[in-house]
Amino acid sequence: MSSDRRQFLTHAAAIAGASLMTPTISSAHPAVSGSKRLLFRYRPYTLALKHVFTVAAMSRTTTPVMLTEVEYDGVVGYGEASMPPYLGESHATAEAFLSKVDLAKYPDPFDLERIIADIDAIAPGNPAAKASIDIALHDLIGKLVGQPWFRLWGLDASQAPVTTFTIGIDKADVVREKTKEALGFKMLKVKLGKDNDREMIETIRSITDMPLTADPNQGWKDRAYAAEMAHWLKEQGVLYIEQPMPKDRLDDLAWLSAHSPLPILGDEGIQRLPDLIKAHERGTYNGVVIKLMKTTGLREAHTMIRMAIAFGMKVLFGCMTETSCAVTAAAQLSPLVDWADLDGNLLISNDIYDGVRVVDGKLVLPDRPGIGVVKA
């Protein structure tokens, strides 16, 4: 038994004993080191955020995640489900879903198409829980062949984009301080959608002239206001706007996408592949925000990025607050996209992985097999 595994079991046992959670570890089959079959385990973990994080609808200081491991022949792949409460998944729902997953029945870990389709069919929803398995399987496969995924996908890691760093909605003095702390980045993402949109932007502009991006998180209810803001934001050096209006306001969003001088990207409104196709058919958005916790993982994310490019849509790769595990997995695909907002690991104080780095604002992928993370 490796020390890694012992820690996992010990931690899981401690949590099981200390909380109301039902079994926090899945091991339908005894864990035998070097076993030529897929072993699967998981444990809940809670991310501590460095700052209170406020977006249009709420504030919070923690994010529940589920950490997964898939092991084959002594090689371990890491995965993660990040579950911000407003999206409906939790430690309990992930536990309920993951306890139904039996990877031991698949003799070949490379049988990704079948395994991922089977997992998707276990129950509807649960996109983050599904992603936690998809990511771990990708990590395992990359490690088994000894290559990072950017290379397996034929991508040039040096083409990884800069990442935005997110400034949450706050009072002007706090925004000023957060902006000063973020001056090492090359692009800032500004959360909007409350009653201080212009103040947020003007406060940041009093500190820096670097490019900005805007995310009202469905906070704008009037399309004329949204269009007016789009023009003003363009003058302020903003590059694009994520999900300006409620996701069910399809006609207003299509009108805005046709009239906005800035690209309008669907985030809350585009979860998985069928949503992307509908958005394209209806002209709802000019682009899409891909996140592994929406797409059920890397496999569908890759397909969606390819399809969005074919549709002529812009692509932003985003994330939730996540450890470096899920963020680094996302970064493997980032050389394909127009923009990245992969700062989720930088917003937490208790990361347990080391992976992608931000150097001079740009994502720098580790040259390690799989998704490229090691335990910190």
Where does this chain bind Mg ion (CB under 5 A)?
A: 215, 242, 267
Give the residue at shortest CB distance from Mg ion: 267
Looking at the Cβ atoms of 341 and 354, the one nearer to Mg ion is: 341
Looking at residue 146, what DSSP letter applies? T
Distance of CA 292 to the CA centre of its chain: 5
Distance, in Å, from the CA atom of 71 to the CA atom of 337, rounded to the nearest integer, reads 31
User: Nearest approach, Cβ of 25 to Mg ion (angstroms)?
Assistant: 33
Distance, in Å, from the CA atom of 253 to the CA atom of 292, rounded to the nearest integer, reads 24
By the 10 Å C-beta count (0-12 exposed, 13-18 middle, 19+ buried), 292 is classed as buried
User: Nearest approach, Cβ of 286 to Mg ion (angstroms)?
Assistant: 15
User: Nearest approach, Cβ of 242 to Mg ion (angstroms)?
Assistant: 4
Look-up of token digits 């929406």? 294
Residue 286 contacts residue 262 (beta carbons within 8 Å):
no
User: Nearest approach, Cβ of 243 to Mg ion (angstroms)?
Assistant: 5
Looking at the Cβ atoms of 215 and 343, the one nearer to Mg ion is: 215
User: Nearest approach, Cβ of 55 to Mg ion (angstroms)?
Assistant: 8
Looking at the Cβ atoms of 134 and 215, the one nearer to Mg ion is: 215
Looking at the Cβ atoms of 242 and 252, the one nearer to Mg ion is: 242
Looking at the Cβ atoms of 95 and 267, the one nearer to Mg ion is: 267
Looking at the Cβ atoms of 242 and 354, the one nearer to Mg ion is: 242
User: Nearest approach, Cβ of 266 to Mg ion (angstroms)?
Assistant: 9
Residue 345 contacts residue 327 (beta carbons within 8 Å):
yes
Find, among 168, 218, 175, 181, the residue nearest to 49 by Cα.
168
Q: Which helix (H) or strand (E) holds 229?
A: helix 223-235
The upper half-sphere exposure of residue 64, i.e. CA atoms within 13 Å in the direction of its Cβ, equals: 16
Find, among 67, 59, 78, the residue nearest to 42 by Cα.
67
Looking at the Cβ atoms of 104 and 250, the one nearer to Mg ion is: 250
Distance, in Å, from the CA atom of 286 to the CA atom of 240, rounded to the nearest integer, reads 10
Which residues are within 8 A (CB) of 45 and not within 5 positions of it... i.e. 6 or more apart?
A: 64, 65, 66, 67, 323, 352
User: Nearest approach, Cβ of 283 to Mg ion (angstroms)?
Assistant: 20
